[in-house]
Amino acid sequence: MRTMNMQSRTSSLFAIIMAGGKGERFWPAGRAMRPKQLLSLTSEKTMIEETVQRLFPLIPPEQVLVITNRDYVEQIRDLLPIPSENVIGEPERRDTAPCVALATALVRRKDPDATMIILPADHVIRPAKVFQDTLKRAADQAQNGYLITLGIPPSFPSTGYGYLHLGADTGTGFYPVLEFKEKPDQATAEAFLKDGNYRWNSGIFVWRADTISEAFRRYAPDLGKKLDAWAKGADFIQDFASCRKISIDYAVMEKAENIIAVDAPFEWNDIGSWSSLRSFLPLDQNGNASLGCAVAMDSSDNVFFSDDGTLIAAIGLHRTAVIKSGNALLVCPLADEQKIKKILEKTKDSFK
């Protein structure tokens, strides 16, 4: 096992931001060429800008990599204060396991002894200092050959998140992960919350590059072979599309035995829908959240969004999203948000 002092650990710490998602649940603000990570939802900055900024100064800009869809590369390069070559476009969407394999290969080219942080581009995390302190603790523990994930203590019985089933505290503030649980039904989510040994799966991971490489070789050898070839300089453009489409949870994490978790002592939200955005926006006395121009009468608990100066005027609306962006208008009960993707299937390409 290796030990590292603070300076050497930080110098070999890389962050990899996964930014290939489409963000269809935020239509019509989110579009094919303006996915969720490129939206400004909780501040004037886009979500990916906030994700990168909260890593500084723990990780220097030259050690921050973004893996995204090739269609978004130029937009992201224009936004971020990192070297342009650190924004890498995937030829095809193949889910998170091929993304992590590619990122690991690219990091190994730079530093075979690196420790990696893997995180999504579109989460809200506050405060940044507490987040960075948690990453430091995880980076220290990763030197012992663990695959580490950050668990979010659940605040309500969510059916929208996957869960981690944890064992007893090891005495270090880290817990063995006994199993990964898929998104549960309501009764199961309530049981998880009551049990106290379950955490929401944040999708944030910390591990050494050599540790995850070995895990790929053992549990997903097809991807492990590609990873090693890419690390030695093979052109991933040539064969990335041939990778099977699979998540890192299915490919590796649900099979590995050296997984531990640490509780996240910070505010976290993946902002997965218009309704979840309400908790991050100022509310009027009737619980209405607004971004842009909106006037409401006899209305409560709504979300109003207008990014082009259009005034939204509402009378007698309750728990409804009214979203005006570009050439489209969405009016939808917040309880039916999951149907937005079905609407997209019915619209012409000019509205996507």
Say if CB 9 and CB 140 are below 8 A apart: yes
Whole-model pTM: value is 0.92
pLDDT of residue 347: 83
- The predicted pLDDT at position 7 comes to 45
Q: Is the pLDDT of residue 3 over 60?
A: no
Q: Please state the rounded mean pLDDT for residues 241-259.
A: 96
Mean pLDDT of the chain: 93
Distance from C-alpha of 311 to C-alpha of 232, rounded to nearest angstrom = 55
pLDDT of residue 2: 45
- Residue 82 CA to residue 66 CA, distance in Å, equals 9
Question: For residue 328, what pLDDT is reported?
Answer: 93
pLDDT confidence of 11, banded at 50, 70, 90? low
| Mean of pLDDT values over 93-114 | 96
Give per-residue pLDDT as tens, 252-295: 999 999 999 999 999 999 988 999 888 888 899 999 999 999 99
Half-sphere exposure of 178 (CA within 13 A, CB side): 9
How much is the average pLDDT of 175-195? 96
Q: What is the mean pLDDT of residues 5-16?
A: 69
> Among 76, 149, 148, 59, which Cα is nearest to 111's?
59
Q: Are 207 and 116 in contact (CB under 8 A)?
A: yes
CA distances from 140 to 7, 113, 117, 135, 207 (A): 12, 14, 12, 9, 10
- Higher model confidence: residue 20 or residue 9? 20
pLDDT in tens, 31-90: 988 999 999 998 889 999 999 999 999 999 999 999 999 999 999 999 999 999 999 999
* Averaged pLDDT for residues 221-242: 95
Q: Quick one: what percent of the chain has pLDDT higher than 90?
A: 83
Are residues 133 and 263 in contact, defined by beta-carbon separation less than 8 angstroms? no
> Is 284 in a helix, a strand, or coil?
coil
